[in-house]
Each structure stands twice: as structure tokens, then as C-alpha cells.
Chain A
Amino acid sequence: MNPPVDSLSGKVALITGAGSGLGEAAARVLAGSGARVAVVDRSAAEAVRVAEAINGNGGVAMALTADVTKPDELAAAVAEVERHWQRLDIVCANAGINGTWAPVDELTPEEWDETLGVNLKGTFLTVRACTPLLKRGGGGSIIITSSGVGSRMFTQSGASAYAASKAAQVAFGHMTALELAKHKIRVNTICPGAFRSNIMSATRHRNTRDLRLPVTFPEGNVPLTGGRSGSAEQIARLIWYLASDLSDHISGTEIYIDGGQSLLMG
């Protein structure tokens, strides 16, 4: 089942990290539901690819190149959205990296900064850049992509920087939910478990092989599916729900979407 085609008509969405993975799936689902979508990615080629696919499919999308660690680029992207569409209703602060996974005493300060810079500061900068336009439009919905890692799961040894950035996003989501409530801006945080995307293969591993304490999962580590990871489209449907007016009383919650994985894995 897909969300109804006109359920988000009239709304404008901005999605960071929309050139691949979950961001791309969210862009396609929101556009398929009638929203106009700003596809923001630091890779111009990927942003264009996704936007063209949406436009070729009868949707409305615009490719915008921006690095979420750069306030100027984000400001320019939001200005483009306002110039074209005069409003903003939905923000998916989704851009993220796995970064370097390594023993904590071998992780360099620069590697820590890189992960926290994209995942945490990038979330802050995205919300910061979008909030004025959301306010002028009378409200909106912000969806932060965090993770089960760092909030419920801690066994991904070597991922201390990643986990810390993801836990901090949850706290940031709680704080901004309260702060922006009077402007009718809702803020919610999704915590996916494993799903099929290329972020895992983009992880730089260093000396993590012997770091993990041994655990085996005889029936796989995703209980609902017998071990099979979910798809980005399944998670994008949750983003649709949080973006839509159906969830108009929901703000300040985390939602785990992982087929029960985070309850099985510590």
C-alpha cells in the first residue's frame, strides 16, 4: 500500500541527504503523495538524478547542492526553495554518515569531528536554516533521522562517534519539539535499525575486528523478518506519516522502526 497521491498536495518538503538511500526513498514517497520536494545533497549529480527521476514520474522536485556542514550553502538552498515555492512545510534532517569506526583510543579528533559535524551539527544547521521559513508558513513538521544505535543499541563497538551523534540528535529533537511548539512546528525523531542502503559500505573500519564481544543470533537479528533487513521505502512511509496532518498532535517522540532489532540487540 502506498500513501494516497494527493495527501501532501500543496506542501513543500526539503530533504537533506536525498541523493541516495533513505533520503532518496523519502523524496520519492513524499513527491508521490503530492508534495513539491527540494532534493538536497552534497553531490550535485546524485541530487539531479533523484530530482529528474521524480519529475519524470509526474512529481515536482528540484535538485539543490548543499553540504549540511556549511551554513551558507544551507541558507542558499532554503532561499531557493522560498524563491521557487514561497513556503516550506516539511523538513527531513536526514543527511548522515557512518564515518570512521575504530577503537576509541585510536579514533582521531578529526575523525570524531567529521562524524559529529555531519550528523549532529548538520542536523542543527538544517533545522536552524529552515525554521524561519517554517514559521512564516504557519508551522510544519521536522523529521530527524537518528538511529537505534546510540539510543537503544550499544554493541556496535567502534561506533562511539556515530552513536554519540545519534543520541545527541534525539536530545536535540526533544528540545526543539518544545521550543518550536508554539509556532506549530512539530519535531520528531526516527530511529531506524538496519535497512538496505549503501551507508554501511561507506563505513571506514579500522581495527574493529576484535573489539566486539561475541554475540550470536541463531534466528537473525531482525526478529520480525527472520533476519532480513527492512527497505528504505518502509522507513519512508513513516516519514510520510510524520510529515502529514494525520500526525498533527505528535511532537517530541522518537519512533523506532527496526522490526524489533533494537529490543534483541543490546
Chain B
Amino acid sequence: MHPTAARHIPADSLQGKVALITGGGSGMGQAAAMLLAQCGARVGVLDCDSAGMTQTVTAITATGGQAMELPADVSDPASLTAALEQLEQAWGRLDIVFANAGTNGLWAPVEDIMPEEWDLTQNVNLRGTFLTVRTSIPLLKRSGGGSVIINASGTGTRMFSAFGSSAYATSKAGQLAFGRITALEMARHRIRVNTICPGSIATALNQKTRTRNLDTLPKSPQYPEGSIPLTNGQNGKPEQVAHLVWFLASDLSDYITGTEIYIDGAQSQLMG
């Protein structure tokens, strides 16, 4: 366990609970999967990339934790349903859902984004969140409640100056609204829903961004001292996001639902 986590997080704090983490094969999803497993949760690691998924599950089981590979694509309802069935069959319950799978998609001027490219981003980020939550609800209800954590972003909710990000930002804003509505709708079943909005985090997602014709857009603002005031510009770490996921997953946050939490070292206070 990360030293900060070891000092603050009881190793049995999620004992008996079952977690589902989409996009659990890399980045924030992987860090969250490992931390929740270290706290005693059994973790379903769902990903469409089998190499990353295997890596996460191997790392968890090698240290005595319990995890299961759930190969699925969040934009494909049938594969999600199959994954949830596999999880229920093995562990019989579900308490924590981290709807984390996402794509940066294509960053380009609005008029240069093809409708299909727009759809791809919405399908993974927004529709994928809807499908993940939709598919998980019955089992969460049967388990007597739970905690859903949606991974949105500061982009599209507080920050709008990243030129070319219209498809991505729109999907992230949609997740925020979806989180609030579902928080209200599922409260009577004791299912909490909260949305986290990370700033720049050191993950591989950034390298996977496709871009087109960004040079035709205005130049983005420059930040000579970096854009993350709290860290002199250093990106946040996936482990820091995992700590927040743990807090929202745990009973320590049992009166919190329907909120967003920005985790960005004040980046969204500096960037417009």
C-alpha cells in the first residue's frame, strides 16, 4: 500500500464488499482496483484491453487480494450484462461501482469532427457510464445499497479552454448531470452516487489522444509556472485519485451523495 494510504486507511475497511471497476486495466482504474483490494474488497476488473486487465488482476492476487478479470466493452450492453452475471455468480453481491472507463477520443475543431467520431467519444464516456450504472443497479439493490463513483473531469464542468475538446468535454458534462439525477433516483435504495472531477493525472490516456487540425484553432492560454498551482505544475497521481475513490466507497462517506468532488491541485481555479 502507498505510504499515505497505509497510514490512513484501515486494511480491513472494505472487508466483505465487492467492487466493480470499469477501465480497471490502467491508470486511475488500476490504482483504485489495487487500493480497494488491499482494503479487503473483492474486485471485478473490467476492461476491453486484456493485457492491462490481466496485469491488474495478477498484481492484486500476487499480494493476497481477490480480483477477477471481466473482459467487456462499456459501449456494448451485452458484454456488460455478461460481466455482471459472472461477478454475481462468483461473489453473489455488489457494493461499489467505479464507472471509470473513458477515452479522450479525438480533439479537433468542431467542424472537423465526423459524426462517427463524436459518437465514439459519447459511447464510451457517457453512454458507457449509463450502461455500467444501469447494468449494476439490480445487483446493488439486491445487496442492500452501495456506492457508485463516476469518473468525470474538470474539463467540461469547470474548464473549457482546452481547444478541440468539445466531444470529450460534452461527455464529461453529461456524466455530471447523470450523476446528480441518479443520486436522487437511487437514494431510496441506499445507493449513493458521486462524481469525481480529476484534473491532469499522470496516466497513459493523455498519450492516446488523437488530434486533428488543432493548429487552426486559437492558441490555448499558456501557464509559465505550470497549470497545477498546488504542485508547481506536476500532474496528480492515480494513487491520489484512488484515495478519493476509497473514501467515497467506504462507510466514512455514508451521508454523501449527489456531489461532485474536484481533485486537481486547484488546476480548475487557474484554467478557465
Contact = CB atoms under 8 A, between A and B. Distances in A.
A245 B259 CA distance: 21
Given A186-B230, A256-B256, A257-B255, A250 B261 contact: yes
Interface string B93-120: 0000000000000000000000000000
A174 B262 CA distance: 12
A235 interface: yes
A249 B188 contact: no
Interface in A102-141: none
Interface string A235-257: 10110110011111111111111
Interface in B170-203: 180, 183-184, 187-188, 190, 192, 197
A266 interface: no
A259 interface: yes
Interface stretch (A1-9, A59-67, A76-84, A206-214): A1-9
A3 B13 CA distance: 10
Nearest to A7: B8
B50 to A, nearest CB: 30
Interface stretch (B67-75, B76-84, B244-252): B244-252
A157 interface: no
For the side of the interface on B, what is the size category?
35 or more
Contacts of A237: 252-253
B42 interface: no
A200 interface: no
Given A246-B247, A247-B244, A262 B269 contact: no
A224 B187 contact: yes
Nearest to B232: A182
A263 B180 contact: yes
B4 to A, nearest CB: 5
Residue picked from B257, B269, B270, most chain A C-beta under 10 Å: B269
A6 B237 CA distance: 24
A4 B13 CA distance: 10
Contacts of A259: 187, 255, 257
Contact of B247 (A195, A241, A245, A256): A241
Q: Please name the 6 residue pairs, one residue from A and one from B, whose CB atoms are nearest each other, closest first.
A: A223-B187, A181-B229, A256-B259, A253-B262, A178-B269, A234-B255
8 contacts: A3-B252, A224-B187, A238-B252, A241-B253, A246-B246, A247-B243, A247-B244, A255-B259
Interface of B: 4-5, 7-10, 13, 180, 183-184, 187-188, 190, 192, 197, 229-232, 236-237, 240-241, 243-244, 246-247, 250-266, 268-270
